[in-house]
Amino acid sequence: MFPGRSGAGADGGHAPVDLVVRGGTVVEAGWSGPADVFVAEGRVLALAEPGAPAPGTREEIDATGRLVMPGGVDPHCHVGFTSGDFTSLDDYLQCTTAAVFGGTTTIVDFAIPRPGQAPADAAYAQRAKAEQGLCDSALHACVTEWDDTIPDQLGALVADGVVTVKMFTTYRNETMADADTILRTMATLRDLGGMVVIHCEANHIIEDTQAHCAADGRIGAADMAGTRPELAETASVAEILAIAESQRAPVYFVHQSTAEAVELVAAARRRGLRAYTESVAHHLVLDETMYEGEHPERFVCCPPLRPRDAVSRLGRHLFTGEITTIGSDHCCYDTAQKRSRSGDVRVMPNGLPGVETRLPVVFSAYVAGMGLPATRFVELTAANPARANGLYPRKGTLLPGADADIAIWDPTTEWTITSGDLHMATDYTPYEGMRVTGRPETVMVGGRVVVHDGRLTDATPRGRHLPARRLHDPVAPVSLRRPSALST
Ligand code: URP
Ligand code: ZN
Ligand code: ZN
Ligand code: ZN
């Protein structure tokens, strides 16, 4: 008997089976083992004993020697993102095409209001684009400034399934919110069953540091690491945790780049706060020596890449359980955009393309390279992102009833990452030339094979905007939960 197995279909019962993934090792957040995955009407019907009969099935996929995982859920993905004078270069079709090639089958995008735009208007405009996607998507709204309409806007958004709200403590005159706005937004969302997701870097420290760097002529892309110090992140995380604690409000920290910041959040969680850490692939895999190369501008992101020892201290928290999710912080600028202002990091576009490479680089570095259990990989990259965004158990799991978004991985194949083979709407990858182990070989969305052996097999956009559930308990320790059967 398998955890989460439903009786129907697996034992030759009533429900017709459309497709079976046979002979693989199913990897879920809390367990893994040999099982066949029965799919019907776009959803997982059952996890069955290997070889169980599937009368009437139209298709079988041989997954012998493969890992059969829920498709990745990318909790942090900017699609066609405008910041300052720059707009990143992809749309939903391009971003989700790249996502599925990389084994990700759900993205969570951001609706960042332009100056003067209401947060709800920004969210509803962005939501309408979901149908251009090859896979499903959800949204974070964003509040930058408090006014009397915000509570009603947030109430409407939560009712419509947008329950997470991005805030920033940096980027003055763009998206930075003051502490009053953050406190009020947190308190409002607490009562609505939503959650603030926040970019923390203390802007006063960053602006002061940048002014000194500029005075010394050290403000170009090659100087990036020194312009946004680690302590700016630590200071801001501490302040935001204090606000959240004062309000008893849940809070999710995006792209935490240092072990110190992660440890502050973990300590708050031990005190009972619902506080969560997201880390992103480039902070876990790349370090600040990338700024010494020929193309430093290609690595300009906020927070910046950190020193090598800081990267390994951060990565250790994947093993301890203190990091909750791994995102990409995908932001698809090309080299020309990055280069156009590369003499001054204060005005150049920041962010790295990564929706396609998030899973392969993390799998290679940590699962193949350092023995991180594949179950923990699924927890970090699919199950917990789904839970933190109110999408679980529809996404992030292969339990019966879940959408049949499935990534079948060859865990041992070695390949070299090169931008010419990738599908993101840019001309470079930060991982150019990196040799990696493990690759998603067959990727299914809603029970249809969309990628097989590096080819797109179904290019029909069928993306849906996913309404999120209210978050009463965003990220319970999924690996400690006994899976139970879901209704289909
Ligand atoms: O450098 C980054 N991360 N750019 C994207 C916007 C953000 O701060 O997440
Ligand atoms: Zn950010
Ligand atoms: Zn360059
Ligand atoms: Zn971001």
Q: Break the chain into its structural domains and give their ranges.
A: 19-70+400-427+434-459, 72-388
The alpha carbon of residue 278 and the mean position of all alpha carbons in its chain are separated, in whole angstroms, by: 8
CB burial string 350-385: b at 16+ within 10 A, e below = bbbbbbbbbbbbbbbbbbbeeebebbbbbbbbbbbb
Give the nearest ligand 1 atom to 300 CA. Answer: 1
| Rg for the chain, CA atoms, rounded | 22
Q: Which residues surround ligand 3, an ion (CB under 5 A)?
A: 295
Distance 19 CA to ligand 4 centre (A): 37
Q: Is 302 in the pocket of ligand 1 (CB under 6 A)?
A: yes
CATH superfamily of 19-70+400-427+434-459: Urease, subunit C, domain 1 (2.30.40.10)
Atom 2 (ligand 1) nearest CA: 351
The first and second tokens of residue 420, run together, are 């010419």
Distance 328 CA to ligand 4 centre (A): 8
pTM score, two decimals?
Answer: 0.95
The first and second tokens of residue 14, run together, are 């009533």
Phi/psi of residue 443, nearest 5 degrees: -125, 130
pLDDT at residue 342 in the model: 96
Low-confidence ranges of the chain (pLDDT < 50): 1-12, 478-488
CATH superfamily of 72-388: Metal-dependent hydrolases (3.20.20.140)
pLDDT at residue 12 in the model: 45
Distance CA 277, CA 270 (A): 13
Q: Is 199 in the pocket of ligand 1 (CB under 6 A)?
A: yes
Distance 108 CA to ligand 3 centre (A): 30
Atom 8 (ligand 1) nearest CA: 302
